[in-house]
Amino acid sequence: MAKKQVQKSVKKTTAPPAALDTGGKFYLGRLHDLKKNQTGSEAVLYDPADLTTHGVVFGMTGSGKTGLCIGILEEAALQGIPALMIDPKGDITNLLLHFPNLQPSDFAPWINPDEARRAGKDVAQAAADTAALWRKGLADWGIGPERLQALADAAEYAVYTPGSDAGFPVSILASLQAPQEDWDEHREAIRERIASTATAILGLVGFDNVDPVKSREHILLANLFEQAWSKGKDLTLGDLIRQVQNPPIDKLGVLELDQFFPAKERAALALRLNNILAAPSFQTWLEGTPLEIDALLFTKAGKPRHSVFLLSHLSDAERMFFVTLLYSAVESWMRRQRGTGSLRALVYFDEIHGYLPPVAEPPSKAPMLRMLKQARAFGVGQLLATQNPVDVDYKALSNAGSWFIGKLQTDRDKERLLDGLEGAAPGGFKRADYDKQISALDKRVFLLHNVHEKHPAIFYTRWAMNYLAGPLTRSQIPALNKLSTASPAASGQAAKPKKQEPTMTAADSEALGPRPIVPSGVQELFLPPVLGMEAAAKASRRSLPADAKRIGLSYQPALLAQAQVRVVQRKYNLDVETYKAALVTDVPARGLRWEDFEHAAFDERRLEGRPDSEEALYAPLSGSLADGAQLKVLERDFADWVYRASQVEVWANEELKVYAGPELTREEFAALCAQEAQSRRNAEVEKAKQKFDTQLKTLQKKLEKERRDLNQDEEKANQRRMEEMGTHLENVIGLFAGSRRRLTTSLTKRRMTAEAKAQVEDSKATIVSLENEMQAMGDEIQQAMDAIEDRWEAVVEKITQIPMAPARKDIYVSSFGVVWLPYHRITVGGREVEIPAYE
């Protein structure tokens, strides 16, 4: 039966408010005092933009984790934020069970008869009791029928069942189509997608722990994908199987194809792939809604979708296959979007155990990790939940800015989580305090650690607006989709609400009248009609016939917002002043996405306080433009958006300590870095020269001394040789004279000559040795100079961009209110049309 959200041993201090005004934030619950075990009246409101840095939810079975996550998804829907939800167990299908009327008949089809019988009730009685329980629970939390109806109307909900037609089936063929991105411009990103796709396909046919660098199968598939996608060609599974057998390539690396991957073994791989394709059960994977993220996030009319992907019926390999393809598709879609600081879309994963482990490398891990690191810049948030805190990669989760921690099962779970949290929140992290607080958590009580806030918050989760019936079975999915009147996403649709472009439109003269009164305290502005009739027609891409006649001026209301933003960061020598502006011609009832209406900055000197003509007619004010309180909420929301979206990218070379603002191009900044690197290179070269000069001078002195010694030794040796020859001559003459004393003298002279020759040889050897040393030192000097040159050349390339956000005090909303847009009223062929007269 229902996962009843009954509060146990928890006190409330005050009654809930009669009506809710969350100011565009997520209403998660109320602050809770752990010491007093008491829930207060202060609401916990969470800024959806904080989810651009992702969130993780931890909690054991029964902790209230599912209720919290469904509450977050409900709030996302109310704010017009689309979501993709991966549901391995069936709990998140409950998102379609919203009953604004809260009648027992609404609940009856979803009551578990066995649980009702165990409680001693029939289905009708259990449904009546559940309806009463939900009415009271929602009322206690200040949630009325109008908010339930708003939830039902906020998005289009649908359950998709990959590999099954119980819900809406999903075709994976789009995952094999060539990406829309240009190959040359996005080569690295497309190769990452190729790697994930190849790994997923191999995992489906039984290859575990595939290494993209070592696996022959992966290398072959990746090359086949690259061969096709680099030329903009799509692949089908049939194409892939045929190309595995007969690849359109001759070599892989430097090896011949058959040497790297013999034909017989390729045939075995092709057979494994074909077995999957030939299986009748696999045909459902090729039918249904394409895995096109645009269509899964928005309807053709631009309404947000909440798309649940139920995977409970799939095998582990099939789940891994689909999750990898889905994340790869989201990543590819994300890279085609403009950057934003607000939450553009949410990806929720109900149980990440096994998909983001700390050591193993399943196919899903690489795209999930890349999304955690890169999705923030594109406004795509991930919310990841698990009841197993031990087997997750905390290094990856250190990229998450929001940690929702509920009741845990074991001390081991708590210690492992604290280790991970300590790594994600270094510096001011007080482990003992967190340990104590986490140990005291009860059911539905969560600790929120948010890097965007100074202190953690302890809160009690609010009542879920959807009926938490528990996991739904595959047989219940058709009725569930029918309940929400859901329809599958259409392929190739326009997914996003588009900005309104000025065009010629038929005028509804009956709707025009005198100037309406703008709500009190709201700024009222007029854009000047700077375009004449001909220029206005040209700007509207229309030509006026000869009988066209101007009959007057009319004004249409819109919302104009403009803020002056200054970003100052002394460390980086940054002082930039800019403007953020928006012009909203059709203000939605909720979930205004300012980035969809961003406008060039207005010259506020040209914004007038009165109309150009007193005889002009006006369209009526309606909706938010006629509601002063709602406009105040929108003004705060605009200021928040400006704060999130006004970050400035600072060029940085941290090694050189060179920084510059966005006014420089990358090439100009690289030139600055090269100049600084040249200066430092010259200084290092000079220092190295001084060191080597000292050594060279020492060697030079030794060499010069040895050469002098050699000259002296050679002179001495020559002298000894002459003396020896003279003595020898005297000895010969003395022999004839009978003298014997000369023989001793002759031997002495011969010994002295030999010693002199030895000294000459030693000097020559020493000189050769010193000359070799000098040659070696010359080589060493050249190598050192080359190394210095290479190092500083490499340093020049270490250019990064550091995002700098403005301080809130440096954001000044200079204009915000109703602006009247001027239109020429013209008669053409007997009918009246309007042409925008503003730029």
Question: In the prediction, which pLDDT does 506 show?
Answer: 46
CA 563 to chain centre: 27
Sequence-distant contacts of 18-22: CB under 8 A, at least 24 apart: 18/142, 19/142, 19/144, 20/142, 20/143, 20/147, 21/633, 22/75
Question: In the prediction, which pLDDT does 475 show?
Answer: 84
Q: What does the buried/exposed string (b/e) look like for 693-726 if buried means 16 or more CB atoms within 10 Å of the residue's CB?
A: eeebeebeebbeebeebbeebbebbeebbebbee
Question: In the prediction, which pLDDT does 732 show?
Answer: 53
d(CA 471, CA 313): 12
Question: In the prediction, which pLDDT does 473 show?
Answer: 83
Question: In the prediction, which pLDDT does 493 show?
Answer: 45
Mean local confidence (pLDDT), 326-347: 89
Tens of pLDDT, residue by residue over 71-96, are: 999 999 999 999 999 999 999 999 99
Query: pLDDT > 90: what percent of the chain?
Result: 37
Highest mean pLDDT among 197-201, 397-401, 555-559: 555-559
Q: How confident is the model at residue 774 (pLDDT cuts 50, 70, 90)?
A: confident
Angle at 385 between CA 365 and CA 3, to 5 degrees: 145
Mean local confidence (pLDDT), 546-573: 87
Tens of pLDDT, residue by residue over 597-655, are: 999 899 888 888 888 888 889 999 988 898 888 899 899 889 988 888 887 788 888 88
Closest alpha carbon to 401 in 368, 430, 425, 433: 425
Contact (CB, 8 A) for 295 and 289: yes
Mean local confidence (pLDDT), 505-516: 68
Angle 145-154/65-78 helices, nearest 10 degrees?
80
Tens of pLDDT, residue by residue over 106-153, are: 999 999 888 889 999 999 999 999 999 999 999 999 999 999 999 999
Closest alpha carbon to 523 in 227, 161, 748, 819: 819
Evaluate if residue 100 carries a pLDDT over 90. Answer: yes
Q: Between these two residues, 427 and 237, which has the higher pLDDT value?
A: 237
Question: In the prediction, which pLDDT does 623 show?
Answer: 84
Question: In the prediction, which pLDDT does 753 show?
Answer: 60
Q: How confident is the model at residue 307 (pLDDT cuts 50, 70, 90)?
A: very high
Evaluate if residue 10 carries a pLDDT over 80. Answer: no
Least confident of 91-105, 300-314, 687-701: 687-701
Query: pLDDT > 70: what percent of the chain?
Result: 88
d(CA 675, CA 653): 12
Q: How confident is the model at residue 816 (pLDDT cuts 50, 70, 90)?
A: very high
Tens of pLDDT, residue by residue over 705-725, are: 767 776 776 666 566 556 656
Contact (CB, 8 A) for 468 and 5: yes
Question: In the prediction, which pLDDT does 589 show?
Answer: 66
Q: Between these two residues, 346 and 786, which has the higher pLDDT value?
A: 346
Mean local confidence (pLDDT), 776-799: 82
Q: What does the buried/exposed string (b/e) look like for 383-397 if buried means 16 or more CB atoms within 10 Å of the residue's CB?
A: bbbbbebeebbbebb
Question: In the prediction, which pLDDT does 497 show?
Answer: 41
Least confident of 206-210, 564-568, 670-674: 206-210
Average pLDDT, rounded, for the chain:
84
Closest alpha carbon to 576 in 587, 584, 567: 567
The model carries a pTM of 0.62
The DSSP call for residue 831 is: E
Tokens of 650: 């600072």
Q: What is the identity of the amino acid at 763?
A: S
Evaluate if residue 491 carries a pLDDT over 80. Answer: no
CA 254 to chain centre: 36
Tokens of 666: 């990358």
Question: In the prediction, which pLDDT does 744 show?
Answer: 52
Mean local confidence (pLDDT), 48-71: 94
Question: In the prediction, which pLDDT does 567 show?
Answer: 84
Mean local confidence (pLDDT), 796-814: 85
d(CA 513, CA 504): 20
Contact (CB, 8 A) for 199 and 367: no
Mean local confidence (pLDDT), 4-13: 39
Helical segments of 11-167, H only = 65-78, 104-107, 113-118, 123-140, 145-154
Tens of pLDDT, residue by residue over 422-472, are: 877 766 678 889 999 999 999 999 999 998 888 899 999 999 999 999 998
Tokens of 393: 């990669």
Q: What is the identity of the amino acid at 39?
A: T
Residue 715's beta-bridge partner residues? none
d(CA 473, CA 565): 52
Least confident of 386-395, 466-475, 657-666: 657-666
Q: Between these two residues, 219 and 428, which has the higher pLDDT value?
A: 219
Mean local confidence (pLDDT), 668-675: 88
Tokens of 455: 């202190």
Residue 599's beta-bridge partner residues? 581
Evaluate if residue 590 carries a pLDDT over 80. Answer: no
Question: In the prediction, which pLDDT does 737 show?
Answer: 53
Tokens of 24: 């565009």
Question: In the prediction, which pLDDT does 501 show?
Answer: 42
Question: In the prediction, which pLDDT does 17 show?
Answer: 46
SS3 helix, strand, coil % of the chain, rounded to 5? 45, 20, 35
Evaluate if residue 103 carries a pLDDT over 70. Answer: yes
Contact (CB, 8 A) for 467 and 99: yes
